[in-house]
Amino acid sequence: MADILNVKNISAGYGEAHVLHGVSFEMQPGTALALLGRNGVGKTTLINTIVGLTRWRGGSIHFDGADVTKLRADERARRGIGWVPQKRNIFKSLTVDENLTAVMRPGTWTLDRLFGMFPRLAERRSNMGNQLSGGEQQMLAIARALATNPKLLLLDEPLEGLAPIIVDELLAALRRIVREEKMTAIIVEQSARKVLPLTDNAIILERGQIAWSGVSADLAQDHETISKLLGVAEKTVA
């Protein structure tokens, strides 16, 4: 099966700052990748580079059989790259319904399916974005990305700063999205314990380079690597 995403020796950053150094990996359709690492190692920069928001310095990105290395972010989005940024970027002056319909493209992710995935949003579909809690805004950000019916979904720390009950709801939704719906996805997360059970493969970044890559289930049992590269001692990941 052909790769849906192939990142080869990519180097990128912002302005004069050089953040990523020769990063390479590939993904098959229908798989999920955990992107792990301490703060400041380049996780968000890698996501932004795939989206098309950084300064390219070398290497290539092929998506769905095409070279998208030098395409603008909007062109990559039209080709099927969905993005949930850290800041969510929902339209706060629009209702939940309007947030979704404003970006919706034809495909399997209809309004009914989105509200089935996120029942809290169904209850608040006439609420403005600024009337939602932080957790509800995150649900809306994910639903809005799905509304574009992407071929690849990029989620940049979707669980950050949320209450435990909301984290549990989002983890259940993400499990359905990547496991049952077979959405190809990259999930940036700092907690290996939370994200490894959802994903097929994992990458740990260190100083803008890949320090570890392999099967998520293997990393879940490798407590020494988790402690060394993530700075935590997670006795039970799976």
Question: Per residue, what are the HEC states of 65-86?
Answer: CEECCCCCHHHHHHHCEEEECC
Give residue 155's pLDDT band: very low, low, confident or very high (50, 70, 90).
very high
Give residue 5's pLDDT.
98
Give residue 236's pLDDT.
43
pLDDT in tens, 194-218: 999 999 999 999 999 999 999 999 9
Domain at 1-74+151-159+183-238: CATH code: 3.40.50.300
Residue 126 and residue 234: Cα distance in Å, rounded?
A: 41
pLDDT in tens, 12-39: 999 999 999 999 999 999 999 999 999 9
In this structure, what token pair is assigned to residue 160?
């950050």
Give residue 89's pLDDT.
87
pTM metric for this prediction? 0.94
Burial class (CB in 10 A: 0-12, 13-18, 19+), 93: exposed
Is residue 157 predicted with pLDDT exceeding 50? yes
Cα torsion for 214, 215, 218, 220, to the nearest 10°? 100
Enumerate residues 6+ apart whose C-beta is below 8 A from 95. 125, 126, 127, 128, 129
Please identify which residue in the block is written with the tokens 């549990």. 168
Rounded to an integer, what is the distance from CA 81 to the centroid of its chain? 10
CATH 3.40.50.300 in the chain is located at 1-74+151-159+183-238
Give residue 238's pLDDT band: very low, low, confident or very high (50, 70, 90).
very low
pLDDT in tens, 101-152: 999 999 999 999 999 999 999 999 999 999 999 999 999 999 999 999 999 9
Is residue 235 predicted with pLDDT exceeding 90? no
Number of Cβ within a 10 Å radius of residue 196: 26
Q: Mean pLDDT, the chain, as a whole number?
A: 94
